[in-house]
């Protein structure tokens, strides 16, 4: 039985072992990367591609980090629970100050920070940046209690555009007003100046990645009162769906399997 393996057999076995090991390691490797890039709560520098493409494109060089004069950005280290090596910021610590010359974007060698996404009329325009969206927690924001605070409103680089103050009557006292901050999703850049300025113990206004907080109505809803939106109807095609209706009578259907199902 102790016959030596033939060369051919050895070769085949070795190949099989190689392929087997490679497949196994491949799966472990993939699973690890899947985990390592799963962090959803990561705020990216201005002009970042959408997360999936960003992770694909960013080479983790940190040139954006070095370019930021406010030390806003850092690269994720092991233990940060973020996709390792990629740039992010935590607005409560240091927000993005929305530099008008956006130094962090043009230095990016890979286009992971896309200049064209922060450009209007061929000029860099930080106001169209989209790093996230500010969300107010009405439970902890003291302005909603009736206490006057407009820290976030005043901190906002797009004051009166991205945050406005809504006045309403304080029925509890009968003689005071609520001065409530309201964020406008179309204008907010997610810079986090508001979160940074918020006076509550844990910020009552927080920046979250947009896809985490924003929904989508679906293209079949059209605002009939909005001329622009109505235009979408012009190219609309009729779709007919037919549902086959059962020919049986209701009694048939009731009698069919009912008893069998019960017993």
Partner 1 sequence: MKKLWNSYRYLFFRRFTQISLLILYFGANAWGWKMLQGNLSSSTILGVIPMSDPYAALQMLAAGATLATDLLLGVLVVTLLYFVVGGRAFCSWVCPINMVTDFASFVRELIGMNKLTGVKQPASRKLRYWVLGLSLIVSAIMGLAAFEFISPISMLHRGIVFGIGFGWAGVLIIFLFDLFVLKNGWCGHICPLGGFYSILGKFSLIRVKHNEENCTLCMKCKVVCPENQVLHMIGKKSLPVLSGECTNCARCIEVCDDDALSFSLRSMAQNKKTGE
Q: Which is nearer to ligand SF4, 112 or 141 (CB)?
A: 112
Report which of 89, 41, 97 is spatially closest to residue 209, judged by C-alpha positions: 41
Q: Is 222 exposed, middle or buried (0-12, 13-18, 19+ CB in 10 A)?
A: middle
What whole-number distance in Å separates Cα of residue 95 and Cα of residue 89?
7
CB of 12 to partner 1, least distance (A): 17
Q: Which is nearer to partner 1, 63 or 208 (CB)?
A: 63
What whole-number distance in Å separates Cα of residue 104 and Cα of residue 129?
12
CB of 102 to partner 1, least distance (A): 16
**Residue ranges of E strands in the chain:** 74-75, 87-88, 119-120, 123-124, 133-136, 163-170, 176-183, 205-208
CB of 211 to partner 1, least distance (A): 17
Q: Which is nearer to partner 1, 12 or 24 (CB)?
A: 24
Contact residues: ligand SF4, CB under 6 A: 45-46, 58-64, 67-68, 70, 72-73, 87, 96-99, 102-104, 107-108, 110, 112-113, 126, 134, 155-156, 158, 162-163, 183, 188-194, 207
Contact residues: partner 1, CB under 8 A: 18, 22, 25-26, 29-30, 32-34, 36-37, 52-53, 55-57, 59-63, 65-66, 74-75, 77-80, 83-85, 107, 109-111
Query: Of these partners, partner 1, ligand SF4, none, which one is at the site of residue 34 (CB under 5 to 8 Å by kind)?
Result: partner 1
What whole-number distance in Å separates Cα of residue 128 and Cα of residue 106?
16
Using CA atoms, how far residue 261 sits from 103, 165, 251, 255, 258, in Å, is: 70, 61, 16, 11, 5
CB of 28 to ligand SF4, least distance (A): 20
């Amino acid at each position: 039985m102790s016959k030596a393996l033939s060369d051919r057999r050895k070769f085949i076995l070795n190949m099989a072992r190689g392929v087997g090991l490679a497949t196994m390691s491949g799966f472990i490797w993939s699973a690890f990367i899947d985990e390592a890039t799963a962090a959803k709560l990561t705020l990216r520098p201005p002009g970042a591609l959408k997360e999936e493409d960003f992770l694909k494109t960013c080479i983790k060089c940190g040139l954006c980090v070095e370019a930021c004069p406010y030390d806003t950005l850092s690269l994720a280290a092991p233990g940060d629970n973020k996709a390792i090596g990629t740039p992010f910021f935590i607005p409560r610590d240091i927000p993005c100050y929305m530099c008008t010359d956006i130094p962090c974007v043009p230095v990016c060698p890979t286009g992971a920070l896309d200049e064209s996404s922060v450009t209007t009329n061929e000029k860099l325009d930080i106001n169209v940046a989209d790093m996230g969206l500010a969300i107010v927690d009405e439970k902890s924001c003291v302005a909603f209690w009736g206490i006057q605070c407009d820290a976030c409103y005043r901190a906002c680089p797009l004051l009166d555009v991205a945050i406005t103050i809504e006045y309403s009557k304080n029925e509890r006292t009968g003689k005071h007003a609520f001065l409530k901050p309201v964020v406008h999703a179309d204008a907010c850049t997610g810079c986090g100046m508001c979160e940074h300025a918020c006076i509550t113990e844990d910020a009552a206004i927080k920046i979250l990645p947009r896809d985490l907080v924003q929904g989508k109505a679906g293209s079949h809803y059209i605002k009939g009162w909005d001329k622009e939106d109505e235009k979408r109807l012009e190219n609309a095609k009729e779709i007919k769906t037919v549902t086959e209706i059962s020919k049986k009578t209701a009694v048939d259907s009731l009698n069919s399997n009912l008893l069998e199902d019960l017993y």
